[in-house]
């Protein structure tokens, strides 16, 4: 566990590329009202800027707030003693100036304090809006232009103060709805229509909702919503017939705050929870229940929780702000990190070169790693080797070259490469690459993860086998969910149920199951391929 000694009593944390360097920075806000920006991409953490905003910083988000292609810092804060409610800017937008300082580019007065902020597109116009929850029991929606004009487009009165704001596609229309946790024990789902807000669902809960997070916990490319209530319970909701339905619940978990993110390279999100007994708990969703997979004892009252790649190494950390103590950085649950790249080697017909790089980021050896390549349509390409086997020493990286020879033009889907091994307890562990689409058209070759737009590649863009661990081609920087045949939680349960017997028997059984999972009927696979193309 790392610490930033100079960042004490951190109450808000965000990660993003504020300086346009191509690498993420770490932004924090404290109970003392001081906003700080750090470069954590080097061996030493470097302070880039700081500013005393007055009051206390309650929430920080990094996003393109004014839709100019650059990241801004949006701050929710409380007023200082000398400021007047309705006059002091409790919602503020900053950018990092070339001079190395924060520059205030917009602000808006919202009562005595803003509880939380969120930046996303909730109107469906492909432009971000700023959402702010006010201490006056309002939800405000703002639009900001590139000239720095911050315009309040909606002021929606709520029955009580919003304690947390999130977004999630609840009704399944591929547009995010606003989800609000209120002090009045309600979870409210709101839909934005131009200049008004429609309340489409209200859930009554036993206790006020104090934290929300959304993510894909089942690996089916649908979002689940994690909810923490003041009584310490955790609930997971799913979209069922355009409504939120409770899917899993864990009571008496001492929960304070929740985040959902992918933390172990298996391309399924994990749940991170800060607790009132000073711990960080990690969970996954297993057979409809929350299963604890790791615990970190922080040992002091937790004020803030965030997940992000603060170090710029394509691995997310858990960032923890604590009372009267330094900011703590907890590494994720990573053991192996796989990366699969396909680069053009010559004209069509002579073959492509794929590189599967696997990095052991732990100080323990990992032996008996096995995997297999699957692709569709099978008859359109030859692959050598198809079977992958390797051992990795502590912090070792190994690259396997895979020769791909398309036989004809068209689109070929390389399915997720699932690498498996058994841990010291004999349990099967796995990591997964994204699904990759290779498109061959005359003299042009394109390849990309199935969930991302294809990018044309040339031979000069091929990655080097000598890449440092954690380095990643820009082509494959977006490690999003797998494609049309993901490994869902049900698949994973079945794989793990094969764990009886020896480690070798467990891996063999899991491989046989993958053969079944990726050997679906041709008609179903063709329909799925059409979905990928469109």
What's the order of all strands across the beta sheet hosting 46-52?
A: 10-16, 25-30, 34-39, 46-52
pLDDT tens string, the chain, 534 residues long: the values are 789 999 999 999 999 999 999 999 999 999 999 999 999 887 789 999 999 999 999 999 999 999 999 999 999 999 999 999 999 999 999 999 989 999 999 999 999 999 999 999 998 899 999 999 999 999 999 999 999 999 999 999 999 999 999 999 888 777 889 999 999 999 999 999 878 999 999 999 999 999 999 999 987 878 899 999 999 999 999 988 888 999 999 999 999 999 999 999 888 899 999 999 999 999 998 888 999 999 999 999 999 999 999 988 888 999 999 999 999 999 889 999 999 988 755 445 567 889 999 999 999 999 999 999 999 999 988 999 999 999 999 999 999 999 988 888 888 999 889 999 998 888 888 999 988 888 887 777 777 777 543 333 222 222 233 333 333 322 222 323 323 334 455 555 554 554 445 566 766 776 776 676 665 433 344 444 344 433
List the one residue out of 436, 416, 435 whose CA is nearest residue 492: 416
- The pLDDT, as a whole number, for residue 458 is 28
Tokens for 152, please give them: 């309040």
CB–CB of 58/38 below 8 Å?
Answer: no
Q: Given its phi and psi angles, is residue 442 left (phi above 0), alpha (psi -120 to 50 degrees) or beta?
A: left
Phi (first) and psi of residue 505, to 5 degrees? -65, -40
- The pLDDT, as a whole number, for residue 510 is 66
On the 0-12 / 13-18 / 19+ scale of CB atoms within 10 A, 365 is exposed
Span 336-533 CATH architecture: Sandwich (2.60)
Domain spans in the chain, listed from the N-terminal domain onward? 336-533
- The pLDDT, as a whole number, for residue 478 is 30
Phi (first) and psi of residue 58, to 5 degrees? -105, -25
Phi (first) and psi of residue 506, to 5 degrees? -60, -45
CA contacts within 13 A on the Cβ side of 106: 19
Q: H/E/C letters for each residue in 378-415?
A: HHHEEEECCEEEEEECCCCEEEEEEEEEECCCEEEEEC
CB–CB of 35/75 below 8 Å?
Answer: yes
Q: Is the peptide bond before 482 cis (omega within 30 degrees of 0)?
A: no
Q: What is the secondary structure of 163-224 as a DSSP string?
A: EEEEEE--SSSSSPEEEEEETTSEEEEEEEETTEEEEEEEEE-SS-EEEEEEE-SSSSS--E
Phi (first) and psi of residue 355, to 5 degrees? -125, 120
Q: Given its phi and psi angles, is residue 67 left (phi above 0), alpha (psi -120 to 50 degrees) or beta?
A: left
Distance of CA 118 to the CA centre of its chain: 15
Q: What is the secondary structure of 209-276 as a DSSP string?
A: EEEEEEE-SSSSS--EEEEEETTS-EEEEEEETTEEEEEEEE-S--EEEEEEE--SSSSS-EEEEEET
What's the order of all strands across the beta sheet hosting 129-134?
A: 114-120, 129-134, 138-144, 150-157
Query: 271 forms bridges with which residues in the sheet?
Result: 260, 283
């Amino acid at each position: 566990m790392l610490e930033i000694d100079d960042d004490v009593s951190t109450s808000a944390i965000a990660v993003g590329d504020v300086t346009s360097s191509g690498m993420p920075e770490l932004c924090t806000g404290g109970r003392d009202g001081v906003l700080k920006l750090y470069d954590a991409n080097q061996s030493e953490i470097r302070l880039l800027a700081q500013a005393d905003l007055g009051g206390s910083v309650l929430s920080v988000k990094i996003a393109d707030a004014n839709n100019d292609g650059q990241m801004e810092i949006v701050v929710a804060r409380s007023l200082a003693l000398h400021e007047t409610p309705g006059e002091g800017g409790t919602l503020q937008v900053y950018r990092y100036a070339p001079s190395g300082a924060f520059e205030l580019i917009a602000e808006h007065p919202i009562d005595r304090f803003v509880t939380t902020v969120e930046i996303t597109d909730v109107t469906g116009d492909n432009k971000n809006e700023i959402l702010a929850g006010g201490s006056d029991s309002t939800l405000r929606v703002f639009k900001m232009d590139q000239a720095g004009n911050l315009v309040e487009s909606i002021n929606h009165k709520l029955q009580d103060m919003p304690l947390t704001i999130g977004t999630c596609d609840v009704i399944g229309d591929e547009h995010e709805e606003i989800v609000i946790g209120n002090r009045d024990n309600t979870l409210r789902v709101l839909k934005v229509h131009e200049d008004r807000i429609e309340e489409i669902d209200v859930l009554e809960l036993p206790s006020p909702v104090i934290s929300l997070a959304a993510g894909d916990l089942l690996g089916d490319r649908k979002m689940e919503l994690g909810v923490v209530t003041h009584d310490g319970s955790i609930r997971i909701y799913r979209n069922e017939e355009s409504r939120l339905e409770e899917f899993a619940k864990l009571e008496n978990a001492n929960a304070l705050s929740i985040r959902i993110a992918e933390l172990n390279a298996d391309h399924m999100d994990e749940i991170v929870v800060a607790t009132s007994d000073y711990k960080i708990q990690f969970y996954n969703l297993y057979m409809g229940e929350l299963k604890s997979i790791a615990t970190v004892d922080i040992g002091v009252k937790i004020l803030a929780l965030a997940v992000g790649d603060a170090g710029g190494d394509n691995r997310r950390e858990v960032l923890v702000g604590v009372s009267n103590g330094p900011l703590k950085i907890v590494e994720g649950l990573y053991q192996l990190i796989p990366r699969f790249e396909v680069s053009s080697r010559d004209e069509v017909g002579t073959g492509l070169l794929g590189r599967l790089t696997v990095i052991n980021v732990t100080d323990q050896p990992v032996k008996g790693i096995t995997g297999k390549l699957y692709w569709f349509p099978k008859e359109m390409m030859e692959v050598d080797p198809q079977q992958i086997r390797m051992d990795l020493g502590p912090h070792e990286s190994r690259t396997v070259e895979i020769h791909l020879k398309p036989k004809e033009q068209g689109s070929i889907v390389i399915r997720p490469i699932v690498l498996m091994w058994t841990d010291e307890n004999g349990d099967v562990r796995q990591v997964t690459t994204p699904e990759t689409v290779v498109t061959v058209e005359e003299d042009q070759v394109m390849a990309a993860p199935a969930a991302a737009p294809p990018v044309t590649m040339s031979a000069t863009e091929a990655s080097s086998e000598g890449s440092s661990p954690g380095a990643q081609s820009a082509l494959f920087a977006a490690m999003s969910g797998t494609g049309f045949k993901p490994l869902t939680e049900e698949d994973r349960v079945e794989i793990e149920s094969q764990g009886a017997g020896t480690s070798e028997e467990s891996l063999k059984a899991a491989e046989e199951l993958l053969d079944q999972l990726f050997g679906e009927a041709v008609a179903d696979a063709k329909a799925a391929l059409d979905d990928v193309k469109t």
